[in-house]
Amino acid sequence: MTQPLIHILGGGLWQLPTIRKAKALGYRVLVSDMYPNPPGFALADLHEQVDITDREATLKVAERHQIDGIICDTTDVGVPTMAYVAEKLGLPGIGLETALNFTNKYRMRDLTSKAGLANPPFRKATTLAKARGFGFPLPFVVKPVDSQSSRGVHVIRNSDEIDYSILDALKNSRSGEIIVEGFLDGIEVTVESVVVAGRVHTVGISDKDHYAHRPEVANRLTYPAAFPVAILQSITNLNAAVVAALGLKNGVTHAEYMVVGETPYLVEIAARGAGSYVYSDIGPYLAGVDIPSAYLQYAVGGDFTATPDEISRAANLAFFDFPAGKVKGIYGVEAAKTLPGVHTILLEFSPGDFIQPPNDDRSRIGLVVVFGNTRDQVLATTRQVMETVKVTYA
């Protein structure tokens, strides 16, 4: 019997776990990426240099190789392409219209608002003048309708930030459209979930902390979130209602909500998993189920069996925050890895590199993932890691 050929969109760092899981399942792997030599190419059976946002070019590649399934499970920009190709070839998928609902932030707001779900005020703009002309009171939010990783996202608190922030949002928008939103002042949470036959199963809910210099960028996600049971249930209920309003029947989601007082509001939601080991490692640990492997099996025509178990677990994802400067040495990493519960430590810099405070999710310079039984336990271990890993400067 011929091994199924799965087409994975993207060959970057956060696609590597999916590629490895596909290979472990016995699949042949085709990876496409816009760059000439991403790390995923070295693991794949086949690879093609093609922009994953280019639907027609990706379709031609998929047809030429006669793929059995296509997946884009950790990067937003390829989700519509995944859905488009699957529709054209009659393969399992989420549907193009559903993909657009999840990847265009204006459509997302519009559809959930029409479904009766609470949203802040929101408007769409294509120019600086139009965005300024809405007259949103400070603070307010601007972001591209179709970007990811916090690129071009700004909370505008002072009038002298307005022009720069709007122009940066426009620069980072693929379509040239941005969304202007009222500011939600609360505690931000993430929700990881899996959707099977229209039923939304919550994998984990985290609360987030952010960098002081860039409050739009998270530096900590802790599962479970520190909320009373009633608020956690409200978040769970809202997440299920959002997924239903946007039309997803089978797949995975990564969502962000803002809890204002006791009420959660949608920030945004994606029909894919999160990077930084959230989808590949943290989600499966919390769920007790290998969700990425289950999703791969579904993509090539198998049953989607990914229901989380009921065991309570905790995890923490924290990002390092070293001062700017030229790195002379890095110490304590191996010692930190031996601490109980430490799952992964990743530093994306070396001696001789110049590091700077991150400006978006992609520019964070390192992270630690800790697993345990309780929230307090994983937070305590994370503090030990942060105290153990040191950087010296030239």
What are residue 142's DSSP bridge partners?
154, 180
CATH topology of domain 316-393: Aldehyde Oxidoreductase; domain 3 (3.90.1170)
CATH architecture label of 185-312:
2-Layer Sandwich (3.30)
Q: How far apart are CA 312 and CA 286, in angstroms?
A: 8
CATH architecture label of 5-91:
3-Layer(aba) Sandwich (3.40)
CATH architecture label of 121-182:
2-Layer Sandwich (3.30)
Predicted local confidence at residue 214, as pLDDT: 83
Predicted local confidence at residue 2, as pLDDT: 82
Contact between 144 and 177 under an 8 Å Cβ cutoff? The reply is yes
- The Cβ of residue 88 has, within 10 Å, a number of other Cβ atoms equal to 16
Question: Domain limits of the chain?
Answer: 5-91, 121-182, 185-312, 316-393
The residue assigned the tokens 């997946």 is 71
- Six-digit token string for 115: 């479904």
Q: Per-block average pLDDT, block size 10, for the chain (394 residues)?
A: 92 96 98 97 98 97 98 95 98 98 96 95 93 90 84 90 92 92 94 97 96 86 97 98 98 96 95 96 97 97 93 96 95 98 96 91 92 98 98 96
| 3-state secondary structure at position 13 | helix
Q: How far apart are CA 34 and CA 52, in angstroms?
A: 7
Contact between 36 and 49 under an 8 Å Cβ cutoff? The reply is yes
Q: Which of the 8 DSSP states describes residue 323? A: P
- CA atoms lying within 13 Å on the CB side of residue 267: 26
Q: Which of the 8 DSSP states describes residue 65? A: H
Sequence-ordered list of residues with C-beta below 8 angstroms from that of 36, at least 6 positions apart, any chain: 49
pLDDT in tens, 257-314: 999 999 999 999 999 999 999 999 999 999 999 999 999 999 999 999 999 998 999 9
